[in-house]
Structures are given as structure tokens and as C-alpha cells.
Amino acid sequence: MKAPAKLGQPTIRVDGSAKVCGTAAYPGDLLPAGTAHAVLVLSGIAHGRIDRLDTAAARAMPGVRDLLTWREVADAVRPVGHVLGEGWANSTWRPLSGPDIRYGGQIVALLVADTFEQARAAAGQVVVAYVAERPAATLGEAASTAEPASRIKPEIKDRIAGDFAAAFAAAPVRVEADFATPIQHHNPMELPTTTCLWTDDRLTVWEPTRFVTALQHGLAAQLGMDPARVRVISRYVGGHFGSKLGLSQHTALAAIAARRIGRPVRIAVSRRDQFSIANHRTDTLHRIRLGAERDGRLLALSHEAIAATSRFDDFAMEGTDVSTALYACPNVLGRERVARVDRNTPGPMRAPPEVPFLFALESALDQLAHDLAIDPVELRRRNDTAADPVTGEPFTSRPLMRCFDAGAAAFGWAARRAAPRTRREGRHWIGLGCAASARPVKIGPAIVRVSLAQGGRVLVETAQHEIGNGLQTLLAMTASERLAVPLDHVTVRLGDSALPPGGLSGGSSSTTTLVNALAEACARLAALPPGPDGGRSVEHRYLPPGADGKALAGLQQGHVTLLTPPEGKLSWAFGAHFVEVAVDAATGEVRVRRHVGAFAAGRILNPLAARNQLTGGMIWGVGSALLEQTEVDRATGTYLNADLADYLLPTAADVGALEVLMIADEDREGNAEGVKGLGELGIIGVNAAIANAVFNATGVRPTALPIRCEQLI
Ligand code: MOS
């Protein structure tokens, strides 16, 4: 018999060959017999109302089976709350509920036909006339109307220690800088294709989602059904990066159309549609003020930020809880505001607050290091802290400087010239930069069923998601190790609301949650006597430290129930990025030539998958720093570059030499298995490291992302 797997050993994905051979079934791969195809018509304005909707020509097109507008749907989709509140929707705007238009790309009609091509052709015949009002669809236009974030999210509180104003005024050295980050869209390869099939009064939905339980309960609530009659299947997810959480606008419409025509209906959301059907990373503005001693020790730190949200949802994500807790400082002010814009509701996108907030903080720190002529790594060492300076809560472990030191050594940081614009190679200015990554560890409750048959076959079942992160492999490894069976004796079933709820794929929490849950389940199983047929099975309800029955009840209803244990302490993952850029002296084009990332994220369970996640984040960080921005047409409030030709992402030619270091971080305080999660850790701080390298190369401080050549020449 083969040896069991061992957590910590590099292990090839158990689903690798199915994916490479094309047998892994994604939701959009399934086409039940008789499926009709639906195509969306989206609004071309962001603010106003539908004046006239002419559908006669579209209805007369070949193959058309149904056409839904607000007249047909009206109140058929019941209101449900937001998925990050007490509800399930990623935007609480009710699809086709009336003639009002509140954002660009809002659904105004749905065409159903025998084939996709017929539906698309017919959709082109729908004529919509609007009464349009001038929108304010970007933060730049709405920032002056910002209100305190606590007004829409009471848990976002000002972060105050000491007396910032007095300490800043008296500080021997001061840095004051403003930063801006743009709207960005997740563009997973897999689009949110939805197929709905009614069997009598039961509904089956195939849709890529990172939380089948939320989709099940939310859709049932929208349609006024018993959730037990809704089943959602999403066995594989082709990436989400923060999208695919909760109900999108199109899902209920597919179910309604399928019921109306008595056939399964599939909506293929196009890349362009996806920009408003899914959510996005919101645009943000930051003011950082730092006051320091001449030796670099911070005396005063303030981070004031504004983020955009929609008119109709109270979406906001706190960022100053991280940016004002990362370094020692006696006088702190963190304050966040939110401005409403005429856009669909933003949402989480990989490390939602940390990516913009640490861009601002880590850029300002680099400026302080420059002004003081102190090495940027040394500046961070002098401000290292064992506790949150605002609350006094200690970190369970604090490997930040070990990340900086290991990264600096591997990168050759000592060769950096401190003075900007002093290293030239041919037509390029060369610069080196660094920045920190940091992120609170999140964990949730989960229910995992594990069964051991006579002969040693193991089945692990939980309604969580394989999003390409290698979760299926990790769960197989865990069961293999803990039950002492070979890896290929373990089958893992995920992504089906008929399975016990496993929570959402989000907040880098999947591994942390489920490896702990499954480890406990295996321990219970191993202690059970065999049943009559020689097999045994347990359905284990895992509660992370500090969670109670309320969290479990929330999980079972598809609510987000992530926690940050242990109580009274901060358990964070850390990292440090080192980047070398070459800036073309004539054109201002920036290329990242080398990038070393050093990360400490608790126990690393599968180094292959961990490296894969971390390099993915590092590469995406190049997009965040240099390429990605969703452009808004100010006149209409719609997205101008809603396709992969004009929404720029890093491709192979944009990626230089990459090196990932994993730094030991033994920390069992947050959870028994010592797991921290690293899905989001790799991207945080990359934008700042690149911006700091650009400053070192050129002497120009980038303050707005993406960094474009026009800022540099
Ligand atoms: Mo995340 S962007 O909470 O998956």
C-alpha cells in the first residue's frame, strides 16, 4: 500500500489531470436537453428611466421564445438583503423591477431563444429610449459628498490613539501625501454562466459561485420558495478573485424564464455584461500624514480614506484597521468615508481593502525613508511593533521583519542606490523598491462529512469550492494523513448545496477553515467503531475559536460568518515584496524585471499550491500597479473598456523573474492547525513596491494607479 500523504509535502493536484484533459465539469459545461438560451440587454445610461421599450421587432425574430422586461417581471423577484449584511445578494437592486435606471449596465431586457445566436440577434433588435439624467459614476465626481463610513457600516470606527494633530504639528519630520486607486474588475476566465432547470416544483441551478449555500437560500428567498427545493451546483469555479459571491442580477431571471417557457434556460453572461453583472473593486482616495523623529521612529500617523459605493447598497470595507495597526506609533488617526455614485454596488476583490490602503501607506513610508535618508527596510524595522498601537492587542506572531530580511537577502537589496535617478542601463532608468504585505487571518464555521468504507476508501463532502486554489487536493491530503490511507483512496466532493454547508470561498479562509474542520472530523471518525457494513461516517460541525451556535445557524442559511480569532489578539499573515523596475527614459514605459516575495502565513500545507497562489498574487499585482483601470464614460456613466482587449491585465511578457520565499511561522493561537491562509497575501503591497521602485528609478513619486507613462515623462 502507498504511504499516506503528509501535510507540508509538495503534492500535485488531485484534480490536475481532469482539468488538463477537460473532463472537470464547470457549471457552464452542462447543457440539459432542450435548453433555451438567454441573452441580456443592458442599459446604456447610469441614471434616469426607461421612457420607451420597443420589443415588437425582437419578439418577431426567428427562434425567440420569450422576452422579459420590467413589465413582465415587476415584483416577481422579491427583495433580499446584501450578502455582506443579513442577506444574499451582491447588489440589492431588483432586476427588471421597474423603469428606473440606477447604474450603467443594468439589465433592461432578457431575450430567450432556441439558440444563443438567435437570442443574441433578437437582443440587438430591442429598442430602448431613456430619459437620462447626468450621472456621477466615479469617486472623483462624488468625493465632496462623502459621509462617515460608520453611518453605513457602524463597525467601521475611527482609529484613534494619543493626539495625532498635536504630535504631527510638533514632529521634526513630516510627510503628507495623497493617493488614488482606480475602479478595477475581476476578470476570471470563467464567466458567470447560469443554467436553470425546473423538475416539477424543484429548481436546479448550475452557476459558478463561491458560496452555493448563499445562492440556494438567496434564490429561494427571491422566488418565495422553500430553500430545500433549490439545489445549486458549482463543482469547479474558474476563478473568482472576489466576484461570484451571492446573487447576481441575472440568476433569478434565468429561473423565471425557465418556468415561463417550461424548458431549461441558460444565460451566458458575456465578458462585457460581466462588468456590471458582477461587482468590482471600488475607487479610493487617501491622505496619509506621517510625523517622525529624525531617526525614523513614527510619532504621528494618520490615514484618511474615501471609497465609492452605490446609491442603494451600504457596501464598505474597512482598511485603516490594517494600515494603522501595522507599525508602532503613539499618535494615530484612522478615518474612513464613503461616497455614493451612480454605479452598481462594488464588492470584494482580492484583498479588498489592503490592496489600496497599503499602496497609500507603504508609498508614504518610502517617501519618509527617502526624506530621512534611511533605508526603507531599516525604517520598517525601527517601527516594528508587537501590538496594535491603537488597541494594544498583541500579534500572535510577528514575522514581518523576518520576511523583509529574507527577501532583502534573496533579492540583493544591499546593492540598491538610495538616491533616485542614479542608475542607468542603456535607455532605461533602473530602480529598486520594497513594501510590506499584511492581512488578518479569517476562519469560519463549516460542516464536513467524512466517510470511511471497508477497504479504506474515504469520501470527504462539504459544500465549499474548488476555485483553482487546490482546496480539493488539500482536503484529500488532510484525510489521507489523518486516516492513514493513500491519497488516491480519498475522494473529495465539493460545490453542491446538497452537501453539508462548508461556507464561502473568501477572505483567504477556505484552507484555514476546512483543514481544521476536516482534521477534527477525521479524529472523531477514527475513534468510532465500524458500523454493520464495516464502514463509518461522521458529519462534523466545526466551530472556530470564539464561534457559537449563531455562527453555525448563519452558515446553514448561507450567510458570511467569518471570524478573526483569537479574541483580544491579532493573528495576521505577513509578507515583503522586493521589485526591480526598468523605466524607459524616452517613453516612460515601466517593466518589472525582478520580483522577490517573502511570506509568512502560518503552516504551509502544500508548498506547490501555496507557491502557485502567491505567484498569482504577485503577477496580478503588476496589473494593479501598472495596467488595470476600468474607465468610465462620464457622460453616460457606463464602462468604456469592458473587454479583455482594453482592460489590461499582465500577460507572460509583463512578468519578469519571480521568486517566492516561504518563511516559517509557527502560530497555533488562531486555530489548532496553525493555518493562516494566503490566497490574498501575494498581491498586497505589490503596487507600492513597484511604485517605490519607480520612484527610485526616476525620482517621480507615483500617487495614482495605474502608473502610466504620462506620469513619468
Ligand atoms: Mo475575498 S476578495 O474576500 O475572496
pLDDT, tens digit, 9 for 90 and up, residues 159-180: 999 999 999 999 999 999 999 9
642 pLDDT above the threshold of 90:
yes
* Ligand 1 centroid, distance to 343 Cα (angstroms): 20
SS3 call for 579: strand
Could you give all domains of the chain from N- to C-terminal order, each with its CATH number? 16-25+442-556 (3.30.365.10), 31-133+189-239+244-277 (3.30.365.10), 141-185+281-441+568-711 (3.30.365.10)
Q: Mean pLDDT over residues 187-212, rounded?
A: 97
How high is the pLDDT of residue 502?
98
CB 353 near ligand 1, within 6 Å: no
96 pLDDT above the threshold of 90:
yes
Q: Mean pLDDT over residues 15-42, rounded?
A: 96
Q: In Å, what is the CA distance from 682 to each residue of 166, 171, 406, 438, 575? A: 37, 34, 16, 9, 8
CB 135 near ligand 1, within 6 Å: no
CB 188 near ligand 1, within 6 Å: no
CB 350 near ligand 1, within 6 Å: yes
Locate the ligand 1 atom nearest the alpha carbon of residue 242 and give its number. Answer: 2
Mean pLDDT of the chain: 97
SS3 call for 481: helix
Q: Per DSSP, what are the bridge partners of residue 307?
A: 284, 338
680 in catalytic set: yes
Give the mutation target among 469, 680, 684 for probing the ligand 1 site: most ligand atoms within 8 A of CB: 680
Nearest-CA residue for ligand 1 atom 3 is: 507
Give residue-wise pLDDT tens across range 531-552: 889 999 999 999 999 999 999 9
Q: What is the pTM of this model?
A: 0.98
Q: Mean pLDDT over residues 85-110, rounded?
A: 97
How high is the pLDDT of residue 621?
98
Give residue-wise pLDDT tens across range 416-429: 999 999 999 999 99
- Residue 90 grid cell: 451582491
Nearest-CA residue for ligand 1 atom 4 is: 506
How high is the pLDDT of residue 381?
98
187 Cβ contact partners less than 8 Å away, ≥ 6 residues apart: 271, 274, 644, 647, 649
Listed residue (479, 559, 589) closest to 523, CA to CA: 479
* Ligand 1 centroid, distance to 679 Cα (angstroms): 9
Give residue-wise pLDDT tens across range 517-530: 999 999 999 999 99
* Ligand 1 centroid, distance to 464 Cα (angstroms): 14
Q: In Å, what is the CA distance from 82 to each residue of 91, 214, 688? A: 6, 11, 32
CB 349 near ligand 1, within 6 Å: yes
- Give the CB-side neighbour count of residue 432, counting CA atoms within 13 A: 19
How high is the pLDDT of residue 332?
98
* Ligand 1 centroid, distance to 511 Cα (angstroms): 13
647 Cβ contact partners less than 8 Å away, ≥ 6 residues apart: 185, 187, 628, 630, 641
Locate the ligand 1 atom nearest the alpha carbon of residue 442 and give its number. Answer: 3
CB 677 near ligand 1, within 6 Å: no
Element (H, E) at 196: strand 194-199
Locate the ligand 1 atom nearest the alpha carbon of residue 348 and give its number. Answer: 2
Locate the ligand 1 atom nearest the alpha carbon of residue 506 and give its number. Answer: 4
How high is the pLDDT of residue 713?
85
* Ligand 1 centroid, distance to 691 Cα (angstroms): 24
DSSP state, residue 627: I
Give residue-wise pLDDT tens across range 332-361: 999 999 999 999 999 999 999 999 999 999
* Ligand 1 centroid, distance to 506 Cα (angstroms): 4
How high is the pLDDT of residue 1?
76
Q: In which band, very low, low, confident or very high, does the pLDDT at 37 lie, cut at 50, 70 and 90?
A: very high
CB 242 near ligand 1, within 6 Å: yes
Give the mutation target among 350, 443, 512, 563 for probing the ligand 1 site: most ligand atoms within 8 A of CB: 350
580 pLDDT above the threshold of 80:
yes
Residues of the chain above pLDDT 70, percent: 100
How high is the pLDDT of residue 464?
98
Locate the ligand 1 atom nearest the alpha carbon of residue 679 and give its number. Answer: 4
* Ligand 1 centroid, distance to 348 Cα (angstroms): 5
Locate the ligand 1 atom nearest the alpha carbon of residue 347 and give its number. Answer: 2
- Give the CB-side neighbour count of residue 349, counting CA atoms within 13 A: 22
DSSP state, residue 351: S
CB 506 near ligand 1, within 6 Å: yes
Q: Mean pLDDT over residues 589-615, rounded?
A: 98
In angstroms, rounded to a whole number, what is the distance separating the alpha carbons of residues 713 and 584?
A: 10
* Ligand 1 centroid, distance to 351 Cα (angstroms): 6
Candidates 393, 481, 680, 710; catalytic one: 680
